[in-house]
Structure 1
């Protein structure tokens, strides 16, 4: 169990999907959680402003590490942050990576950041490699437009995971870091689903037909860049993420969520019923 010297957990991305849930759950455990974000957190944290690193880390014992969003190159920033974390006495870091990170193109620093963390003997670590997050379908990432989800999957399947399950696994590693030192977990949902199966589930949840448009990936990526939704250099990330599903190498179900948390992973059916109202509001002609 955790040591009596436990202080504060610094939660990077503390206002985001998993970070906000982690902070809330840690608080329910009676632990101090410091939400760090550029806006709206307990402390200001900006990856591009190193002067924010020190105040965020002050008194922190554990860190939930989320790298800069919409970036492909960030290993140097992570190294600088971890240098300071060591100096400030942090003893454990849980890193939010991505499923199949060890197969990511070299232009993406996600696996390099894993190696940077794992190579530090002064820091205990756990690494999370979750599947695509179910919440992508309920927010601006994959918006429902004209009752259609547009995403290139080539008919491939993915074991989409609920962000709440990612957070639950992360919390276990932060509450009892010694028990999860050096662990690599790949949180997934209980079923690998094609887009046809996804839209069938959503259709039943909202009570009307929902369709999918399996477009050409380069057209989809180019449109996202042209519209300004992502930077041009982020195209390599989108290409990798979609090609994994198209090639048949999408996430496959495993028992990591249940093994770590003691409860089964959330199904897409449960998720869809929970978010049915959001889809009704977000569908536009």
Structure 2
């Protein structure tokens, strides 16, 4: 039986690309967004509007009648876990059968990367919901690397740790493959990474910039000028620390196995930037 698939975050990079791939495969979709004017126009897709994950009533209505939902994680914030809990509660209330949640690599209660702790907490809540679930745990995105360059250098306390940077398009392709056959992936967790684990120094060299290996204290000091809240700065710094500890040094075959094509390399991504 063919079921309509719900896609949250359909105006974003991963959610939007996942929706495009599923629409191309001829699947019926419901795109759950806050701003319907930004929703992609796709064949076989209709748009449902809710006021974000904190809008339990709106999310419940948007989820109504859906068998499977791709729950894209909310933007980082101090209350992101609470937002995720409300979205899961709405899905439970709407009698959704299966949640595919976009988590993060090495998510754990005591993960070095503070934002990864949010994902672990959400995974635990989903597990306790009684719904079927699948967790996708992508590595850090290739797409963020250009934004890390400041004054011709990438600076952070990553040491000689390694990371297998992953393309958002590959994460979306894996999500689409799983959403097409969710019952085959019930209760499973998949690491989704690029094909090669690189040090930050190697990464910077490929980008044609310098890598400056900061101490943790230097990292906090160099980011103080942005005036960002403490929780956000901590997330920035601990992402580098998680590379240093080895928590990001994972190379997974998930992209190849799920999609039939190899994961996109960092060099391919850089070439695409021209």
Question: Normalized against structure 1, the TM-score is what?
Answer: 0.81
Q: Say whether the 8 Å CA contact 1:154–1:246 is kept in structure 2.
A: yes
Structure 1 counterpart SS, 2:198: coil
- Note if 1:119 corresponds to 2:119: no
Residue in structure 2 matched with residue 207 of structure 1 by the alignment: none
Aligned position for 1:110: 119
Structure 1 range deviating more: 186-195 or 245-254: 245-254
2:94 and 2:132 mapped to 1: Cα distance?
14
1:23-71 CA distances to partner (integer Å, 9 max, x unpaired)? Answer: 1111111113333343423434412333431343233322111232122
Q: What is the match of residue 93 of structure 1? A: 99
**5+ unaligned residues in a row in structure 2: which ranges?**
40-46
* Map 1:15-164 → 2, pairs under 5 A: 15-39=11-35, 40-41=38-39, 42=47, 43-102=49-108, 103-104=110-111, 108-121=117-130, 123-138=131-146, 140=147, 142=148, 144-164=149-169
Residue 21 of structure 1 deviates from its aligned partner by 0.7
Q: Determine whether 1:250 maps to 2:258.
A: no
Q: In 1, are the aligned partners of 2:207 and 2:270 still within 8 Å (CA)?
A: yes
Aligned-pair distance for 1:147? 3.2
Worse-superposed segment, 79-88 or 18-27: 79-88
Q: CA deviation at 1:90?
A: 1.4
**Aligned with 1:56: secondary structure?**
helix
1:168-220 per-position Cα deviation (integer Å, ceiling 9, x unaligned): 111111111001111100011111111222123223xxxxxx22233334443
- Answer yes or no: is the 8 Å Cα contact 2:61–2:94 preserved in 1: no
- C-alpha distance in 1 between matches for 2:192 and 2:223: 27
Q: Does 1:184 align with 2:183?
A: no
Q: Does the C-alpha gap of structure 1 residues 127 and 184 become closer, same or farther in structure 2, counting only changes over 3 Å?
A: same
Q: Shift in Å at residue 127 of structure 1?
A: 0.3
- In 1, are the aligned partners of 2:157 and 2:213 still within 8 Å (CA)? yes
CA contact (8 A) 2:56 2:89 kept: no
Tell me the number of residue pairs that the alignment of Structure 1 and Structure 2 aligns. 261
Say if 1:202 and 1:16 are closer, same or farther in 2 by CA, change over 3 A. same
Instruction: Report deviation, 1:118.
Output: 1.6
**C-alpha distance 231-70 of structure 1, shift in aligned 2 (>3 A):** farther
Q: Deviations over 1:246-271 (max 9, x none)?
A: 12332321212112222211111111
1:193 counterpart residue number: 198
Tell me the C-alpha RMSD between the 2 structures: 2.4
**TM-score by structure 2 length?**
0.84
